[in-house]
């Protein structure tokens, strides 16, 4: 995922966005190996954790790439 964002960042001159969505549709639970969706606070907590990890990884790679160029 970080590589995809790096490519988009490069191609768009730093104008990349990401819309993270937690679902409200109970039928989506099956996509994640579950019979029921967690409540909304749990879904948001999981999304926040995922985004934090992804951002840390992405920022680390962006700075690594930036430092190689400059």
Top-ranked range on mean pLDDT: pick from 16-20, 36-40, 62-66: 36-40
Rounded-to-integer distance, Cα 44 and Cα 40, Å: 6
The pTM (predicted TM-score) of the whole model is 0.61
> 20: Cβ–Cβ under 8 A, 6 or more apart, which residues?
47, 50, 51
> How would residue 48 be classed by pLDDT, with cut points 50, 70 and 90?
very high
Encode pLDDT of 19-43 as tens digits.
888 888 888 888 888 888 889 999 9
CA distances from 12 to 28, 33, 57 (A): 32, 36, 20
Report, as an integer, the average pLDDT of 7-23: 84
């Amino acid at each position: 995922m970080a590589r995809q964002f790096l490519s988009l960042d490069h191609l768009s001159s730093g104008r990349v966005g990401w819309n993270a969505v937690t679902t409200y549709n109970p039928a989506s639970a099956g996509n994640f190996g579950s019979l029921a969706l967690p409540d909304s606070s749990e879904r948001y907590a999981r999304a926040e954790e995922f985004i934090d990890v992804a951002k840390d990884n992405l920022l680390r790679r962006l700075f690594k790439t930036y430092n190689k160029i400059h």
